[in-house]
């Protein structure tokens, strides 16, 4: 037998991605696939002198004496398993001191290797910082930033192996840094800021508002993001970053905040008031970045939020302080220069220089002296140091020092401003002047983008663009630290630091090309949004809305620029299509664009005016139902006019129908949806589903049920996840009036579908209505979980009417679970919220029953205490009580079900025992065949069987089915 390596060892851990799901879906195939997988991995590992010491789950653990052998084995194994259908392997390599016992390994280094592997995606090979040192200059590696590993202290710099035959692009790593919120992933280490991070974290814990001030390039944003990640576990509602650099109009600041948080506008109420009300009772950290150019608007928004939201904390970054009451200011200093080659500033320089020249070091005295003098010349400003360090790819430290010093002497005093701001300006200008003419031109053009860009969009603003040349120049600008490349998405996305973008924009204006470039930018996004709309209503929905979300800053900038220039065709195309797509992912800011440009666009008689009116019709979701109805109706009038480009026939009528129901005209809703359904049938899946909704809402249950299956099938045929979610929700509403079992099936699948495809629009509706049905006819534990999800969803969106309906539905569940005190508290909290309570008509009878159970005195005291809660406090209280009910179930809730099976799983087991196939079960339960197979395998796993015969025997033994059925 081979001897296990000793001393310093490189560990390789592997695992089959999604193996649990694969075993459930393909149990027969997986046995042979895993055997083939094991053979491939063992051959690769042992062929490179590796030693397999662990075989856990569906992966292996191996040890190597040399890191190069470990990575070679990993590459060979990945190539080998590429031929195995359905199997993708994730891998992690880490080097450390081996602790060996009985031919195996133990200790923290082994744990780090296993945890590192768990971050990877199928096909990805990750390398720790310790292993990267040994592979440097020998293996191509991509830095993925610093990450925390689950269960282990500290952070690790992680790298991805790049090799022929291996995939290169993956989603973000699955680290514990991937928390609730939207903080950007950091791809570089933070150097020399430990004390400032600690101080800022303590300030943020102790006060509601902390402002990081300091000159450009000092690292305010990087610090705020680092502390946000550090505190993430302390904020259950997440850490959210609002980037204001791309917001040119101060009036758009509230919309930027609302969009990041997914908060729905409410009628004519000021948007910032809606945001502040929605945040009441939530515990989150808001990072508001780059406030200086919209200082008054940012300060006003922050002040309004903090005045109503005790659980919200804010870290703002700004060159100027906000000057608000209660503001704690932390001035971010440059990096320390004391200590010579050991100073923080020099440490940062070396770290960034090694990114472009891996063998860079300070062993040579002249180099060490030059680097120290560079950092002193740059006043310790991190951005300036990074720009200078990036030049180590082609210059020596002495050459950079001499040229930098000459430039600073030449420019001294030529530009008014604070000394350190001058320093940074000179550093940026020096880096800019060292570029080639083509690189300088490209950097100037990037300044018109807001929130980043990809290769296709930058090529759209370059004269005679050749994408290969542009890509080559982009790569050069990234290596020179003038652009940042983000590889976490499918397509690489580029962005400059805001300081550099502003500098480049000034140079673009000096060159007389600013207006022309902004025109091209706006026209590109007008064309692109129009083209993306063509794919929105089908399987391309997710890709289309992902694009709108990613490009929101560019769409906003292009829209505002075009409006200011009087380019109404361009502005209308952006506004109409951004709104037609954006509403489905709750980007309600785009609806406001469509509404505000309607009048000038109509006067200009733009070609896509019907689409603009249709988009404005979706303002019914933002509380402006009457105006929205008028807009949608105008769209129906225009869509038959050949002078215009309308949405597909019938779509404007459908949107008008939605407006009618929001205006309370149910009869007109049924009439319009019926017209769409009868005219287009299954070709308009959304029309058929909405007609079913109209029928069931107006009491025509039999007619609704007759069309329900067809409506879901039509939505599936259309392929748009948004309309499939909508159809499943409506189907559950219809079935809940006549067939509870099928209602559960539709809503359970709807909840799962919404989670899988991230259709957050229907998250609260599906969870709430399914919870209400489980309260009366289903499983109370399931109802608790679903109510918690619905409350959280409506709170996040600031959807006050739906939040009230949801909270009013919870007391009935508490009564069923013998939790009468919290039921009384919630009933009391709703005593002032009469506007939406007609949706829960049994509240009066419920209150009487709770009073009789508790006694009039106790019930009165509890209801009075509840009446003192505002709506957000009531929501927080409800969620706390739901958590308590889940942790400590009542005897009634603990009623045993055989094998711990849910109601749905028992139903599946009965059908399996009755001899039904997966397809028949899918039809019976009104779910997809894939979902039916998933339920069957879950049942088998829970009861410990692997065949229909064994499941039937188990069902008979545990009296799940009658003996006659089983026989």
With a CB cutoff of 8 Å and minimum separation 6, the contacts of 513 are 444, 445
Length of the chain measured in residues: 967
β-pairing verdict for 284-289 and 239-243: parallel
CA distance linking residue 647 with residue 635, whole number of Å: 9
CA distance 236 to 259: 20
Q: Tokens standing for 13? A: 């851990």
**Residue bearing the bigger pLDDT, 173 or 473:** 473
Model pLDDT, residue 481: 84
Which of 409-418, 826-835, 883-892 has the weakest average pLDDT? 409-418
In this predicted structure, what is the pLDDT of residue 153? 53
Between residues 228 and 897, which one has the greater pLDDT? Answer: 228
Q: How far apart are CA 98 and CA 110, in angstroms?
A: 8
CA-based torsion, 205, 208, 214, 216: positive or negative = positive
Instruction: Assess whether pLDDT exceeds 50 at residue 490.
Output: yes
Rounded to the nearest angstrom, the gap between the alpha carbon of residue 526 and the centroid of all alpha carbons in its chain is: 25
Q: Give 453's Cβ-side CA count (13 Å radius).
A: 29
**% helix / strand / coil in the chain, to the nearest 5?**
60, 10, 30
What gap in Å lies between CA 372 and CA 243, rounded to an integer? 34
Q: 251 with 785: CB under 8 angstroms?
A: no
Q: Which has more confidence, 333 or 189?
A: 333
What mean pLDDT, rounded, does the chain reach? 87
With cut-offs at 50, 70 and 90, classify the pLDDT of residue 650.
very high
**Residue 91: which of 25, 155, 156, 160 has the closest Cα?**
160
pLDDT at 841 over 70: yes
pLDDT-wise least confident of 575-589, 765-779, 924-938: 924-938
Confidence class for position 837, pLDDT limits 50, 70, 90: low
The pLDDT, as a whole number, for residue 966 is 35
What pLDDT shows up at residue 446?
96
Average pLDDT over residues 726-742: 91
A 10 A CB-CB count for 417 gives 11
- Provide the CA 822 distance to its chain's centre, in angstroms: 34
Which residues, 6 or more positions from 506, have their beta carbon under 8 angstroms from its beta carbon? none
Sign of the Cα pseudo-torsion (930, 936, 938, 941, in order):
negative
425-443 pLDDT per residue, tens: 878 888 888 899 999 999 9
Give me the mean pLDDT over the 944-966 stretch.
70
Residue 44 has pLDDT above 90, yes or no: yes
pLDDT above 70 for 543 = yes
Please give the backbone phi and psi of residue 213, each rounded to the nearest 5 degrees, phi first. -115, 165
Q: How would residue 233 be classed by pLDDT, with cut points 50, 70 and 90? A: low
User: 398: how many CB neighbours lie within 10 A of its CB?
Assistant: 16
In the predicted structure, residue 162 carries a pLDDT above the cut 80: yes
CA–CA separation, 439 and 472 (whole Å): 9
β-pairing, 99-101 vs 104-106, is: antiparallel
pLDDT at 459: 95
Per-residue pLDDT of 689-714, as tens digits, reads 999 999 999 999 999 999 999 999 99
Does 348 or 21 have the greater pLDDT score? 348
Task: Please classify residue 250 by burial: count the beta carbons closer than 10 Å to its beta carbon, then call 0-12 exposed, 13-18 middle and 19+ buried.
Answer: middle
**Predicted local distance difference test score (pLDDT) of residue 802:** 85
pLDDT band at 963 (very low <50, low <70, confident <90, very high): very low
Query: pLDDT exceeding 70 applies to what percent of the chain?
Result: 92
Edge to edge, what strands does the sheet with 328-331 contain? Answer: 239-243, 284-289, 312-317, 209-213, 328-331
Q: Assign 900 a pLDDT band (cuts: 50, 70, 90).
A: low
Q: Give the pLDDT confidence score for residue 414 in this predicted structure.
A: 42
Query: Both ends of the chain: CA-CA distance in Å?
Result: 54
Residue 45 CB coordination number (10 Å): 25
- Residue pair 951/913 in contact (Cβ under 8 Å)? The answer is yes
Q: Return the pLDDT at 849.
A: 92
CB–CB of 308/275 below 8 Å?
Answer: no
Question: Which pLDDT score is estimated for 242?
Answer: 94
**For residue 12, is pLDDT > 80?**
yes
Q: Is pLDDT above 70 for 962?
A: no
pLDDT in the model for residue 353: 92
| Beta carbons within 8 Å of 48's beta carbon, 6+ residues apart | 64, 69, 70, 72, 73, 76
Q: Quote the CA–CA distance of 863 and 600 in Å, as a whole number.
A: 53
Tell me the per-residue pLDDT of 69-91, one tens digit each, with 9 for 90 and over.
999 999 999 999 887 877 889 99
The whole-number pLDDT of residue 894 equals 46
Element (H, E) at 71: helix 67-81
Q: Which residue has the tokens 């992912």?
A: 585
Written as six digits, the tokens of 761 are 């629009």
Question: Do strands 155-162 and 140-148 pair parallel, antiparallel, or not at all (unpaired)?
Answer: antiparallel
> In the predicted model, is pLDDT for residue 412 greater than 50?
no
Closest CA to 615 of 665, 567, 559: 559
Region 225-253: mean pLDDT is 86
pLDDT at 26 over 80: no
Q: Is the per-residue pLDDT at 417 higher than 70?
A: no
**Of the candidate ranges 312-326, 360-374, 722-736, 953-967, the one whose mean pLDDT is the lowest:** 953-967
């Amino acid at each position: 037998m081979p001897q296990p390596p000793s001393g310093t060892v490189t560990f390789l851990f592997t695992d089959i991605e999604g193996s649990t799901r694969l075993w459930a879906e393909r149990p027969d195939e997986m046995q042979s696939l895993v055997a083939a997988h094991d053979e491939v991995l063992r051959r690769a590992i042992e062929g490179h002198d590796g030693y397999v010491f662990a075989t856990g789950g569906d992966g292996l653990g191996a040890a190597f004496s040399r890191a190069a052998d470990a990575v070679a084995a990993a590459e060979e194994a990945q190539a080998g398993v590429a031929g195995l259908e359905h199997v993708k392997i994730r891998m992690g390599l880490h080097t450390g001191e081996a602790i060996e016992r009985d031919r195996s390994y133990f200790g923290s280094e082994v744990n780090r290797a296993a945890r590192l592997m768990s971050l990877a995606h199928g096909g990805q090979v990750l390398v720790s910082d310790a292993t990267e040192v040994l592979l440097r200059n020998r293996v191509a590696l991509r830095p993925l930033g610093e990450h925390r590993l689950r269960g282990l202290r500290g952070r690790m710099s992680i790298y991805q192996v790049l090799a022929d035959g291996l995939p290169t692009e993956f989603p973000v790593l699955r680290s514990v840094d991937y928390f609730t919120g939207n903080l950007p992933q950091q791809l570089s280490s933070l150097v020399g800021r430990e004390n400032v991070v600690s101080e800022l974290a303590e300030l943020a814990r102790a006060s509601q508002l902390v402002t990081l001030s300091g000159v450009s390039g000092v690292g305010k944003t990087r610090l705020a993001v680092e502390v946000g990640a550090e505190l993430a576990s302390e904020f259950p509602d997440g850490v959210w970053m609002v980037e204001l650099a791309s917001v040119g109009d101060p009036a758009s600041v509230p919309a930027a905040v609302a969009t990041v948080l997914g908060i729905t506008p409410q009628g004519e109420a000021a948007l910032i008031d809606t945001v502040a009300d929605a945040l009441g009772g939530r515990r989150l950290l808001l990072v508001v970045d780059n406030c200086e150019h919209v200082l008054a608007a940012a300060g006003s928004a922050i002040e309004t939020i903090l005045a109503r939201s005790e659980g919200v904390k804010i870290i703002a970054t700004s060159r100027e302080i906000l000057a608000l009451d209660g503001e704690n200011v932390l001035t971010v200093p440059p990096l320390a220069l004391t200590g010579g080659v050991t100073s923080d500033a020099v440490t940062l320089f070396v770290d960034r220089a090694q990114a472009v020249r891996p063998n860079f070091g300070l062993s040579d005295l002249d180099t060490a002296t030059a680097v120290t003098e560079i950092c002193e010349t740059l006043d310790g400003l991190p951005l300036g140091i990074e720009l200078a360090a990036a030049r180590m790819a082609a210059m020596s430290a002495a050459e950079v020092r001499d040229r930098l010093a000459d430039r600073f002497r030449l420019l001294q005093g030529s530009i008014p401003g604070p000394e350190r701001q001058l320093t940074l300006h000179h550093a940026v200008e020096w880096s800019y002047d060292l570029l080639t003419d083509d690189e300088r031109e490209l950097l100037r053009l990037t300044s018109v983008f807001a929130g980043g860009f990809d290769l296709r969009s930058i090529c759209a603003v370059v004269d005679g663009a050749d994408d290969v040349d542009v890509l080559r120049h982009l790569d050069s600008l990234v290596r020179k630290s003038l652009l940042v490349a983000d590889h976490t998405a499918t397509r690489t996305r580029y962005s400059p630091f805001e300081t550099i973008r502003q500098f480049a924009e000034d140079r673009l204006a000096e060159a007389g090309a600013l207006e022309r470039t902004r025109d091209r930018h706006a026209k590109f996004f007008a064309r692109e949004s129009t083209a993306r709309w063509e794919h929105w209503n089908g399987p391309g929905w997710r890709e289309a809305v992902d694009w709108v979300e990613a490009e929101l800053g560019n769409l906003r900038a292009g829209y505002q620029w075009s409006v200011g220039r009087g380019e109404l065709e361009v502005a209308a195309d952006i506004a109409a299509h951004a709104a037609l797509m954006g509403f489905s992912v709750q980007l309600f800011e785009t609806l406001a664009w469509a509404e505000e440009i309607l009048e000038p666009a109509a006067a200009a008689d733009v070609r896509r005016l019907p689409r603009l009116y249709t988009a404005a019709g979706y303002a019914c979701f933002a509380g402006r139902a009457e105006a929205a109805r008028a807009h949608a109706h105008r769209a129906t009038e225009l869509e038959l006019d050949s002078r215009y480009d309308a949405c597909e026939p019938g779509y404007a009528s459908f949107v008008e129908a939605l407006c009618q129901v929001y205006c309370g005209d149910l009869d007109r809703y049924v009439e319009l949806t019926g017209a769409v359904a009868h005219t287009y049938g299954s070709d308009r899946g959304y029309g058929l589903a909405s007609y079913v909704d109209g029928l069931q809402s107006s009491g025509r249950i039999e007619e609704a049920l007759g069309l329900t299956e067809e409506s879901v099938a039509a939505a599936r045929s259309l392929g748009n996840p948004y309309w499939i979610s909508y159809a499943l929700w409506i189907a559950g509403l219809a079935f809940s009036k006549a067939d509870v079992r099928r209602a559960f099936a539709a809503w359970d699948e709807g909840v799962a579908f919404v989670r899988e495809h991230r259709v957050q629009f229907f998250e609260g509706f599906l969870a709430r209505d399914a919870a209400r049905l489980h309260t009366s006819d289903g499983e109370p534990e399931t109802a608790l979980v679903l109510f918690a999800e619905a409350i959280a969803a409506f709170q996040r969106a600031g959807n006050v009417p739906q939040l009230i309906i949801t909270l009013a539905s919870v007391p009935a569940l508490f009564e069923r679970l013998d939790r009468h005190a919290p039921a009384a508290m919630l009933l009391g909290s709703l005593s002032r919220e009469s506007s939406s309570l007609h949706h829960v008509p049994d509240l009066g009878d419920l209150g009487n029953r709770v009073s009789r159970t508790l006694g009039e005195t106790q019930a009165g005291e509890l209801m009075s205490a509840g009446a003192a809660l505002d709506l957000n406090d009531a929501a927080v209280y409800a969620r706390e009580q739901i958590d308590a009910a889940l942790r400590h179930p009542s005897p009634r809730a603990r009623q045993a079900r055989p094998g711990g099976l849910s109601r749905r799983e028992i139903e599946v087991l009965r059908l399996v025992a009755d001899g039904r196939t997966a397809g028949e079960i899918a039809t019976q339960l009104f779910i997809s065949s894939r979902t039916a197979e998933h339920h069957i395998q879950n049942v088998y796993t829970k009861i410990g069987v692997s065949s229909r015969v064994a499941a039937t025997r188990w069902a008979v033994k545990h009296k799940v089915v009658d003996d006659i059925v089983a026989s």
